[in-house]
Amino acid sequence: MRQATIERKTKETDICLSLNIDGAGKAEIDTGVGFLNHMLELFAFHSGFDLTVRCKGDTWVDDHHSVEDIGIALGQALLEALGDKKGIARYGNFLLPMDEALVLVVIDLSGRDTLGYQVHLPAEKVGTFDTELVKEFMLGFTRNAKACLHFQQLAGENTHHIIEAMFKGLGRALRQAVAIDPKRAEETPSSKGVL
């Protein structure tokens, strides 16, 4: 089984995150940030990954540290769970419609971190959640997963719908990228022979 557990403790957050890539999409999420709980539950369901997250963070300051650090821990867990990456498809993409919103998500588990973020979120908040934190989460995730990740928003007016399309689309794209290619199950998915 491709899985990992990350424990990350700083003066701002105390996180325990477990990821099983070969799971069934089950989630047990308690981040202290309600909207992020919802997005991670959707991510787990659509990726097919089992995901457990427990976070105690300084949310009396704001949600920034918790959201960013959970992104970091998720990226670290994915990288560890993938191991040498032999046999994976490596690339994944998904065009996710969520009512009026339409977001393209493309990922390459290349070993090089890049975030392309062509997203416009009309509202500064969804409930009490600061929407600028979505980018912080994705930066933390991308840098630590060592992945090339692109979001291209093609349509959308409702901020909740746009963000939901991003998390669901990321789950679906990752589901493709981590799948084992039966024709190359023992090969590193790179013409260089290394990722």
pLDDT attached to residue 142: 98
> Which regions in the chain score pLDDT beneath 70?
193
pLDDT attached to residue 76: 98
- Sign of the four-CA dihedral 50, 92, 81, 34: negative
pLDDT attached to residue 87: 94
**Digit-coded pLDDT (tens) for 114-161:** 999 999 999 999 999 999 999 999 999 999 999 999 999 999 999 999
Q: What is the pTM of this model?
A: 0.96
pLDDT attached to residue 185: 75
pLDDT attached to residue 177: 98
Going by C-alpha positions, the residue among 189, 183, 48, 1 that lies closest to residue 111 is 189
What distance in Å separates the CA atoms of residue 87 and residue 97, rounded to the nearest whole number?
30
pLDDT attached to residue 183: 86
Strands 148-155 and 101-108: antiparallel
pLDDT attached to residue 1: 81
Average pLDDT score, the chain: 96
> Which distant-in-sequence residues (6+ apart) come within 8 Å of 159 by Cβ?
121, 122, 123, 126, 131
Query: What is the 3-state secondary structure of 37-85?
Result: HHHHHHHHHHHCCEEEEEEEECCCCCCHHHHHHHHHHHHHHHHHHHCCC
Using N-to-C axis directions, what is the helix angle for 64-82 and 133-145, rounded to 10°?
A: 30
pLDDT attached to residue 25: 98
H or E stretch covering 17? strand 13-20
pLDDT attached to residue 189: 73
Q: Is 65 in contact with 77 (CB distance < 8 Å)?
A: no
